[in-house]
Amino acid sequence: MTAPPDDCLARNEWLCGAYLSSRREILWDATVQHLQLTVVSVLIGLALAVPLALAARHRRWAAGPVLGVTTILYTVPSLAMFSLLLPVYGLSASLVVAGLVLYSLTLLVRNILAGLRAVPEETRQAARGMGYGPLRLLLAVELPLALPAAMAGLRIATVSAVSLVTVGAIVGYGGLGNLIYSGMNTYFKAQVLTASVLCVVIAVVADLLLLLVQRLLTPWTRRQP
Amino acid sequence: MDPETAVNTLADAWSWLTTSANWSGDGGIWNRLGQHLFLTVVCLLISCLIALPVAVVLGHLGKGGALAVNLSNIGRAVPTFAVLVLLLLTPIGGYGEWPTIIALVLFAVPPLLTNAYVGMREVDRDVVRAARGMGMTGGQLMLGVEVPLALPLILTGVRIAAVQLVATATLAALAGGGGLGRIITAGFNLASTAQVVAGAVLVAAFALIVEGLFEAGRLLVPGRFRGGGSG
Protein backbone atom coordinates (compact mmCIF):
# COMPACT_ATOMS: atom_id res chain seq x y z
CA MET A 1 0.00 0.00 0.00
CA THR A 2 1.32 3.41 -0.94
CA ALA A 3 1.25 6.17 1.61
CA PRO A 4 -0.94 9.20 0.78
CA PRO A 5 1.12 12.03 -0.71
CA ASP A 6 2.28 14.52 1.89
CA ASP A 7 2.07 17.77 -0.04
CA CYS A 8 0.32 21.09 0.58
CA LEU A 9 -2.84 19.80 -1.14
CA ALA A 10 -3.12 16.89 1.27
CA ARG A 11 -2.48 19.21 4.22
CA ASN A 12 -5.11 21.67 2.87
CA GLU A 13 -2.88 24.71 3.21
CA TRP A 14 -3.94 28.24 2.19
CA LEU A 15 -0.93 28.79 -0.07
CA CYS A 16 -0.21 25.87 -2.34
CA GLY A 17 2.05 25.79 -5.39
CA ALA A 18 0.88 22.28 -6.27
CA TYR A 19 -2.66 23.64 -6.56
CA LEU A 20 -1.56 26.29 -9.04
CA SER A 21 0.27 23.81 -11.25
CA SER A 22 -2.26 20.97 -11.12
CA ARG A 23 -5.40 23.13 -11.61
CA ARG A 24 -3.98 25.56 -14.12
CA GLU A 25 -6.69 24.82 -16.69
CA ILE A 26 -9.59 25.15 -14.26
CA LEU A 27 -8.23 28.48 -13.04
CA TRP A 28 -7.72 29.70 -16.62
CA ASP A 29 -11.27 28.74 -17.69
CA ALA A 30 -12.78 30.42 -14.62
CA THR A 31 -10.73 33.57 -15.23
CA VAL A 32 -11.80 33.71 -18.89
CA GLN A 33 -15.47 33.30 -17.90
CA HIS A 34 -15.02 36.00 -15.25
CA LEU A 35 -13.54 38.42 -17.80
CA GLN A 36 -16.19 37.63 -20.43
CA LEU A 37 -19.08 38.21 -18.02
CA THR A 38 -17.53 41.48 -16.80
CA VAL A 39 -16.67 42.92 -20.22
CA VAL A 40 -19.99 42.01 -21.86
CA SER A 41 -22.01 43.43 -18.96
CA VAL A 42 -20.10 46.71 -18.72
CA LEU A 43 -20.21 47.25 -22.51
CA ILE A 44 -23.99 46.66 -22.68
CA GLY A 45 -24.39 48.91 -19.63
CA LEU A 46 -22.37 51.63 -21.36
CA ALA A 47 -24.37 51.32 -24.59
CA LEU A 48 -27.59 51.82 -22.61
CA ALA A 49 -26.25 54.48 -20.23
CA VAL A 50 -25.11 57.04 -22.82
CA PRO A 51 -28.55 57.55 -24.46
CA LEU A 52 -30.25 57.50 -21.03
CA ALA A 53 -27.89 60.14 -19.66
CA LEU A 54 -28.32 62.28 -22.79
CA ALA A 55 -32.11 61.98 -22.50
CA ALA A 56 -31.97 62.96 -18.84
CA ARG A 57 -29.74 65.93 -19.72
CA HIS A 58 -31.77 67.34 -22.59
CA ARG A 59 -35.34 66.41 -21.63
CA ARG A 60 -36.10 67.92 -18.26
CA TRP A 61 -38.96 65.48 -17.52
CA ALA A 62 -36.73 62.43 -18.12
CA ALA A 63 -34.13 63.23 -15.44
CA GLY A 64 -36.32 62.38 -12.41
CA PRO A 65 -37.53 58.96 -13.59
CA VAL A 66 -34.12 57.89 -14.95
CA LEU A 67 -32.27 58.77 -11.72
CA GLY A 68 -35.08 57.41 -9.53
CA VAL A 69 -35.31 54.03 -11.26
CA THR A 70 -31.53 53.52 -11.39
CA THR A 71 -31.24 54.39 -7.68
CA ILE A 72 -33.92 51.82 -6.82
CA LEU A 73 -32.16 49.19 -8.98
CA TYR A 74 -28.87 49.91 -7.24
CA THR A 75 -30.44 49.46 -3.79
CA VAL A 76 -31.58 45.89 -4.55
CA PRO A 77 -28.94 43.46 -3.17
CA SER A 78 -27.12 41.44 -5.84
CA LEU A 79 -28.36 38.01 -4.70
CA ALA A 80 -31.96 39.27 -4.84
CA MET A 81 -31.38 40.90 -8.24
CA PHE A 82 -30.12 37.66 -9.78
CA SER A 83 -33.01 35.76 -8.15
CA LEU A 84 -35.62 38.19 -9.47
CA LEU A 85 -34.31 37.63 -13.00
CA LEU A 86 -34.50 33.83 -12.64
CA PRO A 87 -38.06 33.45 -14.08
CA VAL A 88 -36.99 35.46 -17.14
CA TYR A 89 -33.58 33.99 -17.93
CA GLY A 90 -33.46 30.65 -16.09
CA LEU A 91 -30.11 29.24 -14.95
CA SER A 92 -27.98 30.91 -17.62
CA ALA A 93 -25.07 33.27 -18.20
CA SER A 94 -27.59 35.80 -19.56
CA LEU A 95 -29.07 36.07 -16.06
CA VAL A 96 -25.73 37.12 -14.58
CA VAL A 97 -25.08 39.53 -17.46
CA ALA A 98 -28.56 41.10 -17.13
CA GLY A 99 -28.08 41.65 -13.39
CA LEU A 100 -24.63 43.16 -13.85
CA VAL A 101 -25.89 45.41 -16.68
CA LEU A 102 -28.48 46.90 -14.32
CA TYR A 103 -25.81 47.72 -11.70
CA SER A 104 -23.26 49.20 -14.14
CA LEU A 105 -26.06 51.15 -15.82
CA THR A 106 -26.80 52.99 -12.58
CA LEU A 107 -23.19 53.96 -11.91
CA LEU A 108 -22.59 55.00 -15.52
CA VAL A 109 -25.78 57.07 -15.95
CA ARG A 110 -25.09 59.03 -12.74
CA ASN A 111 -21.50 59.81 -13.68
CA ILE A 112 -22.13 60.65 -17.35
CA LEU A 113 -25.00 62.92 -16.34
CA ALA A 114 -22.83 64.65 -13.74
CA GLY A 115 -20.16 65.15 -16.39
CA LEU A 116 -22.62 66.61 -18.90
CA ARG A 117 -24.12 68.92 -16.30
CA ALA A 118 -20.66 70.19 -15.36
CA VAL A 119 -19.99 71.55 -18.88
CA PRO A 120 -19.94 75.35 -18.34
CA GLU A 121 -22.79 77.27 -20.00
CA GLU A 122 -20.25 79.79 -21.41
CA THR A 123 -18.49 76.97 -23.27
CA ARG A 124 -21.76 75.88 -24.82
CA GLN A 125 -22.62 79.44 -25.80
CA ALA A 126 -19.18 79.99 -27.31
CA ALA A 127 -19.59 76.85 -29.43
CA ARG A 128 -23.06 77.95 -30.56
CA GLY A 129 -21.66 81.38 -31.39
CA MET A 130 -19.03 79.69 -33.56
CA GLY A 131 -21.88 78.12 -35.52
CA TYR A 132 -21.91 74.62 -33.95
CA GLY A 133 -25.19 72.74 -34.51
CA PRO A 134 -26.69 70.61 -31.72
CA LEU A 135 -25.04 67.36 -32.90
CA ARG A 136 -21.59 68.87 -33.38
CA LEU A 137 -21.93 70.65 -30.01
CA LEU A 138 -22.66 67.28 -28.39
CA LEU A 139 -19.93 65.28 -30.13
CA ALA A 140 -17.15 67.87 -30.23
CA VAL A 141 -17.73 69.82 -27.03
CA GLU A 142 -20.08 68.28 -24.46
CA LEU A 143 -19.07 64.60 -24.64
CA PRO A 144 -15.29 65.25 -24.56
CA LEU A 145 -15.71 67.57 -21.57
CA ALA A 146 -17.87 64.97 -19.80
CA LEU A 147 -15.27 62.27 -20.47
CA PRO A 148 -13.29 62.47 -17.17
CA ALA A 149 -16.47 62.04 -15.09
CA ALA A 150 -17.74 59.32 -17.41
CA MET A 151 -14.42 57.44 -17.20
CA ALA A 152 -14.51 57.68 -13.40
CA GLY A 153 -17.95 56.04 -13.56
CA LEU A 154 -16.68 53.38 -15.96
CA ARG A 155 -13.84 52.50 -13.59
CA ILE A 156 -16.19 52.17 -10.61
CA ALA A 157 -18.67 50.14 -12.68
CA THR A 158 -15.97 47.78 -13.94
CA VAL A 159 -14.40 47.18 -10.54
CA SER A 160 -17.86 46.58 -9.02
CA ALA A 161 -18.76 44.18 -11.84
CA VAL A 162 -15.58 42.13 -11.32
CA SER A 163 -16.52 41.76 -7.66
CA LEU A 164 -20.23 41.04 -8.30
CA VAL A 165 -19.59 38.32 -10.92
CA THR A 166 -18.67 36.03 -8.01
CA VAL A 167 -22.31 36.08 -6.81
CA GLY A 168 -23.24 34.47 -10.16
CA ALA A 169 -21.94 31.24 -8.61
CA ILE A 170 -25.46 30.74 -7.25
CA VAL A 171 -26.57 29.89 -10.83
CA GLY A 172 -23.26 28.29 -11.84
CA TYR A 173 -22.00 31.24 -13.91
CA GLY A 174 -19.79 33.12 -11.49
CA GLY A 175 -16.34 32.84 -13.10
CA LEU A 176 -13.87 32.61 -10.23
CA GLY A 177 -16.87 32.73 -7.89
CA ASN A 178 -17.67 29.15 -8.97
CA LEU A 179 -14.29 28.06 -7.60
CA ILE A 180 -14.89 29.96 -4.35
CA TYR A 181 -18.34 28.36 -4.02
CA SER A 182 -17.15 24.80 -4.65
CA GLY A 183 -14.08 25.44 -2.50
CA MET A 184 -16.36 26.46 0.35
CA ASN A 185 -18.40 23.26 0.08
CA THR A 186 -15.30 21.05 0.02
CA TYR A 187 -13.37 23.16 2.56
CA PHE A 188 -10.60 23.62 -0.03
CA LYS A 189 -8.54 26.53 1.35
CA ALA A 190 -6.01 26.89 -1.50
CA GLN A 191 -8.77 27.09 -4.10
CA VAL A 192 -10.77 29.75 -2.20
CA LEU A 193 -7.73 31.94 -1.51
CA THR A 194 -6.31 31.63 -5.03
CA ALA A 195 -9.65 32.49 -6.69
CA SER A 196 -10.23 35.41 -4.30
CA VAL A 197 -6.78 36.88 -4.92
CA LEU A 198 -7.27 36.51 -8.69
CA CYS A 199 -10.56 38.47 -8.42
CA VAL A 200 -8.82 41.36 -6.69
CA VAL A 201 -5.93 41.25 -9.20
CA ILE A 202 -8.39 41.41 -12.13
CA ALA A 203 -10.17 44.38 -10.52
CA VAL A 204 -6.94 46.30 -9.89
CA VAL A 205 -5.52 45.61 -13.37
CA ALA A 206 -8.81 46.62 -15.04
CA ASP A 207 -8.88 49.83 -12.99
CA LEU A 208 -5.31 50.72 -13.96
CA LEU A 209 -5.95 49.95 -17.66
CA LEU A 210 -9.00 52.23 -17.67
CA LEU A 211 -6.99 54.95 -15.89
CA LEU A 212 -4.41 54.68 -18.67
CA VAL A 213 -7.13 54.92 -21.34
CA GLN A 214 -8.54 57.96 -19.56
CA ARG A 215 -5.16 59.72 -19.56
CA LEU A 216 -4.69 58.98 -23.26
CA LEU A 217 -8.19 60.20 -24.14
CA THR A 218 -8.05 63.40 -22.10
CA PRO A 219 -4.53 64.84 -22.53
CA TRP A 220 -5.80 68.36 -21.71
CA THR A 221 -6.55 67.46 -18.09
CA ARG A 222 -2.83 67.05 -17.39
CA ARG A 223 -1.76 70.46 -18.65
CA GLN A 224 -2.97 72.27 -15.57
CA PRO A 225 -0.44 74.27 -13.52
CA MET B 1 -38.60 31.13 -20.71
CA ASP B 2 -41.83 32.30 -22.36
CA PRO B 3 -43.95 35.07 -20.81
CA GLU B 4 -46.67 32.66 -19.70
CA THR B 5 -44.25 30.64 -17.58
CA ALA B 6 -42.86 33.83 -16.06
CA VAL B 7 -46.37 34.97 -15.09
CA ASN B 8 -47.11 31.54 -13.59
CA THR B 9 -43.88 31.77 -11.56
CA LEU B 10 -44.96 35.15 -10.20
CA ALA B 11 -48.34 33.70 -9.23
CA ASP B 12 -46.57 30.78 -7.51
CA ALA B 13 -44.25 33.20 -5.70
CA TRP B 14 -47.28 35.16 -4.51
CA SER B 15 -48.98 32.04 -3.19
CA TRP B 16 -45.70 31.05 -1.46
CA LEU B 17 -45.65 34.45 0.25
CA THR B 18 -49.28 34.21 1.33
CA THR B 19 -48.96 30.71 2.79
CA SER B 20 -48.93 31.22 6.55
CA ALA B 21 -46.82 28.08 7.14
CA ASN B 22 -43.91 29.82 5.36
CA TRP B 23 -43.95 32.67 7.89
CA SER B 24 -43.62 30.67 11.10
CA GLY B 25 -40.99 28.32 12.50
CA ASP B 26 -37.18 28.29 12.51
CA GLY B 27 -36.72 28.82 8.77
CA GLY B 28 -39.85 30.98 8.51
CA ILE B 29 -39.97 34.49 7.12
CA TRP B 30 -40.47 36.18 10.53
CA ASN B 31 -37.44 34.43 11.98
CA ARG B 32 -35.25 35.22 8.95
CA LEU B 33 -36.45 38.84 8.95
CA GLY B 34 -35.57 39.14 12.63
CA GLN B 35 -32.07 37.75 11.97
CA HIS B 36 -31.59 40.14 9.06
CA LEU B 37 -32.74 43.16 11.08
CA PHE B 38 -30.60 42.14 14.05
CA LEU B 39 -27.47 41.69 11.90
CA THR B 40 -28.03 45.00 10.10
CA VAL B 41 -28.66 47.09 13.23
CA VAL B 42 -25.93 45.55 15.42
CA CYS B 43 -23.31 45.74 12.67
CA LEU B 44 -24.29 49.31 11.78
CA LEU B 45 -23.75 50.31 15.41
CA ILE B 46 -20.40 48.50 15.63
CA SER B 47 -19.23 50.00 12.33
CA CYS B 48 -20.23 53.54 13.36
CA LEU B 49 -18.44 53.14 16.70
CA ILE B 50 -15.28 52.05 14.87
CA ALA B 51 -15.32 54.33 11.83
CA LEU B 52 -16.82 57.65 12.89
CA PRO B 53 -14.46 58.59 15.78
CA VAL B 54 -11.44 57.69 13.63
CA ALA B 55 -12.74 59.66 10.63
CA VAL B 56 -13.69 62.70 12.75
CA VAL B 57 -10.31 62.88 14.47
CA LEU B 58 -8.36 62.27 11.23
CA GLY B 59 -10.49 64.85 9.42
CA HIS B 60 -9.95 67.37 12.22
CA LEU B 61 -6.20 66.83 12.14
CA GLY B 62 -6.15 66.64 8.33
CA LYS B 63 -4.10 63.44 8.43
CA GLY B 64 -4.47 60.01 6.80
CA GLY B 65 -6.56 61.42 3.97
CA ALA B 66 -5.18 59.12 1.27
CA LEU B 67 -6.04 56.05 3.33
CA ALA B 68 -9.53 57.26 4.28
CA VAL B 69 -10.42 58.08 0.68
CA ASN B 70 -8.84 54.98 -0.90
CA LEU B 71 -10.46 52.61 1.58
CA SER B 72 -13.74 52.85 -0.34
CA ASN B 73 -12.00 51.86 -3.57
CA ILE B 74 -10.33 48.92 -1.89
CA GLY B 75 -13.66 47.84 -0.38
CA ARG B 76 -15.21 47.87 -3.85
CA ALA B 77 -12.49 45.73 -5.42
CA VAL B 78 -12.68 42.94 -2.83
CA PRO B 79 -15.63 40.59 -3.50
CA THR B 80 -17.94 40.33 -0.47
CA PHE B 81 -18.63 36.69 -1.23
CA ALA B 82 -14.90 35.86 -1.24
CA VAL B 83 -14.38 37.52 2.17
CA LEU B 84 -17.38 35.64 3.62
CA VAL B 85 -16.02 32.28 2.44
CA LEU B 86 -12.44 33.07 3.49
CA LEU B 87 -13.63 33.96 7.00
CA LEU B 88 -15.73 30.79 7.10
CA LEU B 89 -12.66 28.64 6.36
CA THR B 90 -10.52 30.31 9.07
CA PRO B 91 -10.81 29.16 12.69
CA ILE B 92 -13.36 32.02 13.20
CA GLY B 93 -15.73 29.98 11.01
CA GLY B 94 -16.47 27.70 13.95
CA TYR B 95 -18.07 30.50 15.98
CA GLY B 96 -21.66 30.76 14.73
CA GLU B 97 -22.50 34.16 13.21
CA TRP B 98 -19.06 35.73 13.82
CA PRO B 99 -17.76 35.31 10.23
CA THR B 100 -20.91 37.08 9.00
CA ILE B 101 -20.65 39.89 11.55
CA ILE B 102 -16.96 40.51 10.78
CA ALA B 103 -17.60 40.56 7.01
CA LEU B 104 -20.55 42.92 7.47
CA VAL B 105 -18.48 45.34 9.55
CA LEU B 106 -15.54 45.18 7.12
CA PHE B 107 -17.76 46.30 4.23
CA ALA B 108 -19.70 48.94 6.20
CA VAL B 109 -16.61 50.75 7.55
CA PRO B 110 -15.20 52.14 4.22
CA PRO B 111 -18.24 54.26 3.17
CA LEU B 112 -18.61 55.54 6.75
CA LEU B 113 -14.94 56.47 7.02
CA THR B 114 -14.65 58.05 3.57
CA ASN B 115 -17.81 60.16 3.79
CA ALA B 116 -17.15 61.37 7.33
CA TYR B 117 -13.54 62.24 6.47
CA VAL B 118 -14.51 64.13 3.30
CA GLY B 119 -17.29 65.90 5.25
CA MET B 120 -14.82 67.07 7.89
CA ARG B 121 -12.34 68.29 5.28
CA GLU B 122 -14.98 70.15 3.27
CA VAL B 123 -15.96 72.39 6.18
CA ASP B 124 -15.35 75.98 5.06
CA ARG B 125 -11.80 76.91 6.12
CA ASP B 126 -12.93 80.50 6.86
CA VAL B 127 -15.40 79.14 9.42
CA VAL B 128 -12.63 77.09 11.02
CA ARG B 129 -10.32 80.12 11.18
CA ALA B 130 -13.10 82.27 12.64
CA ALA B 131 -13.75 79.64 15.32
CA ARG B 132 -10.04 79.53 16.15
CA GLY B 133 -9.95 83.33 16.28
CA MET B 134 -12.78 83.24 18.81
CA GLY B 135 -10.45 81.23 21.03
CA MET B 136 -11.97 77.78 20.61
CA THR B 137 -9.77 74.86 21.58
CA GLY B 138 -9.20 71.96 19.15
CA GLY B 139 -11.83 69.83 20.87
CA GLN B 140 -14.43 72.61 20.90
CA LEU B 141 -13.74 73.33 17.24
CA MET B 142 -14.07 69.66 16.31
CA LEU B 143 -17.27 68.86 18.22
CA GLY B 144 -18.95 72.27 18.14
CA VAL B 145 -18.20 73.43 14.60
CA GLU B 146 -16.75 70.81 12.28
CA VAL B 147 -18.92 67.80 13.21
CA PRO B 148 -22.25 69.69 12.93
CA LEU B 149 -21.21 71.12 9.55
CA ALA B 150 -20.01 67.71 8.35
CA LEU B 151 -23.20 65.99 9.50
CA PRO B 152 -24.93 65.79 6.09
CA LEU B 153 -22.06 63.82 4.58
CA ILE B 154 -21.61 61.73 7.74
CA LEU B 155 -25.29 60.73 7.48
CA THR B 156 -24.91 59.99 3.75
CA GLY B 157 -22.13 57.59 4.74
CA VAL B 158 -24.39 55.96 7.36
CA ARG B 159 -27.09 55.47 4.74
CA ILE B 160 -24.71 53.92 2.19
CA ALA B 161 -23.34 51.68 4.94
CA ALA B 162 -26.84 50.56 5.97
CA VAL B 163 -27.79 49.61 2.40
CA GLN B 164 -24.43 47.83 2.03
CA LEU B 165 -25.11 45.92 5.27
CA VAL B 166 -28.49 44.71 4.02
CA ALA B 167 -26.84 43.45 0.81
CA THR B 168 -23.94 41.77 2.61
CA ALA B 169 -26.26 40.12 5.12
CA THR B 170 -28.16 38.65 2.15
CA LEU B 171 -24.97 37.26 0.64
CA ALA B 172 -24.06 35.73 4.00
CA ALA B 173 -26.73 33.12 3.28
CA LEU B 174 -24.49 31.70 0.53
CA ALA B 175 -21.87 31.02 3.20
CA GLY B 176 -24.39 29.52 5.64
CA GLY B 177 -25.24 32.70 7.58
CA GLY B 178 -28.75 33.60 8.73
CA GLY B 179 -31.08 36.24 7.34
CA LEU B 180 -33.56 36.64 4.49
CA GLY B 181 -31.00 35.41 1.95
CA ARG B 182 -31.52 31.90 3.36
CA ILE B 183 -35.01 31.84 1.84
CA ILE B 184 -33.40 32.40 -1.58
CA THR B 185 -30.63 29.81 -1.15
CA ALA B 186 -33.12 27.29 0.21
CA GLY B 187 -35.26 27.96 -2.87
CA PHE B 188 -32.27 27.22 -5.13
CA ASN B 189 -31.56 23.99 -3.24
CA LEU B 190 -35.21 22.92 -3.61
CA ALA B 191 -35.15 24.01 -7.30
CA SER B 192 -38.23 26.10 -6.42
CA THR B 193 -38.21 29.21 -8.60
CA ALA B 194 -41.31 30.44 -6.77
CA GLN B 195 -39.50 30.43 -3.42
CA VAL B 196 -36.38 32.04 -4.93
CA VAL B 197 -38.47 34.88 -6.36
CA ALA B 198 -40.50 35.26 -3.16
CA GLY B 199 -37.28 35.53 -1.11
CA ALA B 200 -35.82 38.02 -3.57
CA VAL B 201 -38.96 40.19 -3.33
CA LEU B 202 -38.65 40.19 0.48
CA VAL B 203 -34.96 41.12 0.35
CA ALA B 204 -35.53 43.87 -2.24
CA ALA B 205 -38.44 45.29 -0.23
CA PHE B 206 -36.35 45.24 2.95
CA ALA B 207 -33.47 47.09 1.25
CA LEU B 208 -35.80 49.67 -0.27
CA ILE B 209 -37.53 50.25 3.09
CA VAL B 210 -34.14 50.86 4.76
CA GLU B 211 -33.19 53.33 2.00
CA GLY B 212 -36.66 54.93 2.24
CA LEU B 213 -36.38 55.39 6.02
CA PHE B 214 -33.09 57.25 5.63
CA GLU B 215 -34.59 59.40 2.86
CA ALA B 216 -37.61 60.21 5.07
CA GLY B 217 -35.29 61.01 7.99
CA ARG B 218 -33.28 63.34 5.76
CA LEU B 219 -36.41 65.23 4.76
CA LEU B 220 -37.59 65.54 8.37
CA VAL B 221 -34.44 67.07 9.86
CA PRO B 222 -33.80 70.82 9.62
CA GLY B 223 -32.63 71.98 6.19
CA ARG B 224 -29.08 72.83 7.19
CA PHE B 225 -28.37 69.19 8.07
CA ARG B 226 -29.56 67.86 4.70
CA GLY B 227 -27.00 66.22 2.47
CA GLY B 228 -27.07 65.64 -1.25
CA GLY B 229 -29.52 63.16 -2.75
CA SER B 230 -27.18 60.23 -2.94
CA GLY B 231 -23.58 59.36 -2.56
Closest CA in chain B for residue A70: B230
Query: CA dist B164 to A130, B42, B94, Å?
Result: 48, 14, 25
CA B76, B80, B86, B87 dihedral sign is: positive
Mean of pLDDT values over A198-209? 96
Which of A88, A177, A189 has its CB closest to that of B89? A189
What pLDDT, on the 0 to 100 scale, is given for residue A58? 86
Q: Is the pLDDT of residue B231 over 60?
A: no
What pLDDT, on the 0 to 100 scale, is given for residue A103? 94
Give me chain A's average pLDDT, please: 91
Of the candidate ranges A14-23, A181-190, A200-209, the one whose mean pLDDT is the lowest: A14-23
Which of B73, B89, B170 has its CB closest to that of A80? B170
CA angle B160, B227, B75 (to 5 degrees): 25
Q: Is the pLDDT of residue B229 over 50?
A: no
B13-45 tens-digit pLDDT:
999 999 988 998 888 999 999 999 999 999 999
What residues of chain A, 36 to 65, have a C-beta less than 8 Å from chain B?
none
Which of A83, A163, A170 has its CB closest to that of B78? A163
B93-103 tens-digit pLDDT:
878 888 999 99
Distance between CA atoms of B185 and A146, rounded to whole angstroms?
A: 42
> What are the structural domain ranges in chain B?
3-225
- What is the interface size between A and B, counted as CB pairs within 8 Å? 135
Chain A residues with CB-CB distance to B79 below 8 A: 162-164, 166, 177, 180, 196, 199-200
Does A20 reach chain B within 8 Å, measured CB to CB? no
Does B12 reach chain A within 8 Å, measured CB to CB? no
Chain B residues with CB-CB distance to A181 below 8 A: 81, 85, 174
Which of B76, B170, B187 has its CB closest to that of A77? B170
B54-80 tens-digit pLDDT:
999 999 998 888 888 788 888 889 999
Q: Which of A166, A147, A160, A168 is nearest to A206 (CA)?
A: A160
Closest CA in chain B for residue A195: B82
* Contact call for A192 and B230, based on CB within 8 A: no
CATH class, B3-225 region? mainly alpha
Distance between CA atoms of A175 and A70, rounded to whole angstroms?
A: 26
What pLDDT, on the 0 to 100 scale, is given for residue B222? 63
**Domains of chain A and CATH, by start:** 17-216 (1.10.3720.10)
Closest CA in chain A for residue B200: A80
> Could you give the ipTM of this predicted complex?
0.88
Does B20 reach chain A within 8 Å, measured CB to CB? no
B158-182 tens-digit pLDDT:
999 999 999 999 999 988 888 999 9
Chain B residues with CB-CB distance to A89 below 8 A: 1
A118-159 tens-digit pLDDT:
999 999 999 999 999 989 999 999 999 999 999 999 999 999
* Contact call for A75 and B76, based on CB within 8 A: no
Mean of pLDDT values over A208-212? 95
* Contact call for B197 and A87, based on CB within 8 A: yes
What pLDDT, on the 0 to 100 scale, is given for residue B230? 39
Packing angle between helix B147-171 and helix B193-220, nearest 10 degrees? 170
